[in-house]
Structure 1
Amino acid sequence: MVQDVRILNTGTLLELQRRLRSAGHENIRASMQRRIRHAAEPLRDDLQNTMRTLPIRSSGRKPGKRGGPSPTRRPLRATLAAAIRISVRTTGNPGARVWMDKGALPPDLKRMPDVINTGRIRHPVFGNRRRWATQTATPLWWDKTIRQHRPRMEREVARVLDDVRNRLT
């Protein structure tokens, strides 16, 4: 799984950052950060929407098998979608980053972003570790969504950098 997506043009961003710092243009730097974040927001929103609507299929119960309520009340897809984040940095390693924040997930779901992206989810049946179920989801949903947005994001970030460079000269 692509753990995160980063739109970087490190050389250009670092050069612009140095010029901004030496020129003392805080408002241009804040504007650049805001515009880069704005370029990444459609990707985050689409990833969240894709996660919320991701079909997860099961082979179903075998005849004569009992069912029951889920041992947790938290919705899986909504929990994972809420953990998708954006960060924008203009110093150090500058760029925009969209990632799944595993720190925002409950302890039992820390590995779920990697597992669900493979398309095969194995889990104990209602917490019983002697009985396991396998469910399937659309494989590589994260990677496919990122691939769709990457050209647009790269164009938008390049436009932001050109605007900032023009304002500095």
Structure 2
Amino acid sequence: MPAYYEIRGTGDFRRAARRLKEAGNGQLTRRMSRGMRTAAKPAVDAAQRSVRSLEASATRGGGGQARREFALGRKRKKTETARRKAFEGRGLRSSTARAIGTQVRSSGQSASVRVRVNTRQLPPDQRTLPAHMNEGRWRHPVFGGDRWVTQTVSRDEWFDEPMREHGPKIRQGAAKVVDDILREIAQ
């Protein structure tokens, strides 16, 4: 499973990126990036809802402690509010949902928008879990590593389904933004 879904620059995207670079207008580039992010937002929201609605056959203990400690370790001030938020958001599904976002790139050669799971926002030993959850099952050790269990989720392709559904809409929205920018540059 790919860790992201990408709509890469068609000819129009490439042409817009090249013209923006030639025009040297950072404001137009930022506006194009913002418009492409806006076009991808429904897909991000759908993927977040999808992962939060998963039901997993869980084992006791889980990785909640590790995710809480990881989130808390990233905070400069360890206030009571930060501790509470880290405790509330320690579950695998909520951690994964928070890690879903968009990445927009615009260079002289192409422009692209990606919806991806930023696994760097998860603890190092849990960064492969979103991909395994998308496949529907994974194995992991419990109680000191001498016993392994298979963990499953209620449905696989929690990430792929929303991307297939929203992919054409993202492309249309991004193409509209690019067309608007190209028209503005041509004037």
TM more than 0.5: yes
Is 1:156 the counterpart of 2:173? The answer is yes
Structure 1 position 18, deviation (Å) = 2.1
Q: Given the alignment, which residue of 101, 116, 122 partners 1:105?
A: 122
Cα RMSD, aligned residues only? 2.0
> Could you tell me whether the CA contact under 8 Å between 1:13 and 1:161 is conserved in 2?
yes
> Could you tell me whether the CA contact under 8 Å between 1:123 and 1:134 is conserved in 2?
yes
Q: Deviations over 1:133-155 (max 9, x none)?
A: 22221112211111011111111
> Could you tell me whether the CA contact under 8 Å between 2:100 and 2:115 is conserved in 1?
yes
Is 1:33 the counterpart of 2:33? The answer is yes
Larger strand proportion of the pair: 1
Structure 1 length-normalised TM? 0.83
1:1-169 aligned within 5 A: 1-57=1-57, 69-70=61-62, 72-73=64-65, 74-91=90-107, 93-125=110-142, 127-137=143-153, 138-169=155-186
How many residues align structurally?
Answer: 160
> Could you tell me whether the CA contact under 8 Å between 1:2 and 1:142 is conserved in 2?
no
Return 35-44 or 67-76, whichever deviates more. Answer: 67-76
Q: Specify whether residues 25 and 135 from structure 1 end up closer, same or farther in structure 2 by C-alpha distance, changes over 3 A only.
A: same
Secondary structure of 1:56 counterpart: coil
Secondary structure of 2:94 counterpart: helix
Considering only CA atoms, is the larger Rg found in Structure 1 or Structure 2? Answer: 1
Structure 1 position 69, deviation (Å) = 4.6
Q: Which sections of structure 2, spanning at least 5 residues, go unmatched?
A: 66-89
Distance in 1, Cα, partners of 2:148 & 2:103: 37
Q: Specify whether residues 22 and 140 from structure 1 end up closer, same or farther in structure 2 by C-alpha distance, changes over 3 A only.
A: same
